[in-house]
Amino acid sequence: MNNCSDLGFCGFCQFCLELVSHSFDDIRQKCVQLSLNMFINKLKPPIKHMLCFVLYYSGALSLLLKLLTKFRKSHLAVILFYHRFSKSTPNPFQLPHLDINDFEKQLLHIKQHYQVITMNDLAYILNERQSFARPCVALTIDDGYANNYELAYPILKKLEVPATIYLTTGFVGTSRALWVDDLMDILSNTKKQSLRFAKLLGEEVIDISTPFKKRKTVSRFFRHMFHLPHETKLQTIIDLREILWDANAHHCDPQRKMLNWLEVIEMNSDLICFGAHTVTHPTLRRMDLLKAQLEIKDSKRALESKLGNEVFHFAIPNGKIDDFSNDLKQYCKEIGLKTVVSTEPGAVSAQSDPHFLPRILPPPPIHMFAFDLAKNVFFNSKNNIAI
């Protein structure tokens, strides 16, 4: 019974039905995918970590990738997505980020084993319903943080790796940032030792006397606020700032968090392409449809006005299947967007919907990244996601 539940009874039935209508090569590939995924999913994290370490540093994974690339008749593509980058400086109040040294290692691995393509390339291939002649990887970066220019751009330029940066245009060139950045700033800078916030937590009083406890509180607030309507999120930030106000404390990070237009214009080239990511990063499906459409259109227009070229790509804020709709997908097509990317995991095939593409969040360290990327490119059957 446990084995059936691990596999998923419905998934097993679907797999059996597919066997009837597939060629022998397809059946063999499906069996390999299923067996590998079952094996990997059952591994405990320390064992998986050790296995990936041995496969990567022994050269076995590299050999396997070369063999799979050579003998496979058709391939998949994977879109990677990043957000923030940092140098090797520990900071308890740093939101999720990737160390720039890990980023460079990832790019070197990608260049060695995969064909790097742009989102323009991907849009063309999907429009023509072409298959991928080689395993492909496209790089994307969300939101438009200043460290994209300061840290990631020099590495991308040095290694000549193209990327698409999706900009939240309302924050470009301002001192503002995403609500989660404001949340982190407020809690990290307050001198108060406790917090009572009845709107979200009732009468509970939370201890915020240490950096660790502040970080836990940020995570807790994030979970509570994530699915709230955008205006409610912003009002919650305002209320929280008033409660934790301390005249003797620093109330904001003086360092600019987001890109400015000079940096955007400098990067805009054959190497770096820019896509729209709304104006204020709301949860689109929790808004009135017309307001959600304006968020998309105004973001696209702002970029086109500043850059002087048409914008063809869009990233959904938060990016899950519940954050988008068929009405919004149709609207993206109508205003000329050729691709829309989500954060739903999966690989891209010639049959993928260009207006709801999956992406992979790449994990460090490098041996885990290399293994995870290979699993998604060569053994990922989840490449068609419907809204």
What type of residue sits at position 153? Answer: Y
- What is the rounded CA–CA span in Å between residue 77 and residue 140? 13
Using DSSP bridges, classify how beta strands 194-196 and 205-207 pair: parallel, antiparallel or unpaired. antiparallel
Low-confidence ranges of the chain (pLDDT < 50): 1-24, 27-28, 34, 248, 250-251
Residue type, 299: S
Length of the chain: 387
pLDDT of residue 96: 83
Rounded distance, CA 252 to CA 255, Å? 9
**Beta-ladder partners of 82:** 141
Q: CATH says 43-173+257-378 is which class?
A: alpha beta
Report pLDDT for 379. Answer: 83
User: Got the DSSP string for 78-133?
Assistant: EEEEE--EE-S---TTPPS-EEHHHHHHHHHHHHHHSEE--HHHHHHHHHTTPPBS
pLDDT score at 347: 96
| pLDDT score at 7 | 39
Predicted TM-score of the model (pTM): 0.86
Give the pLDDT score at 125: 95
Would you call 182 helix, strand, or coil by DSSP?
helix
pLDDT of residue 11: 44
pLDDT value at residue 40: 56
b/e map of 51-75 (b: 16 or more CB within 10 Å)?
A: ebeebbeeeebbeebeebbeebeeb
CA distances from 340 to 113, 123, 126 (A): 26, 10, 12
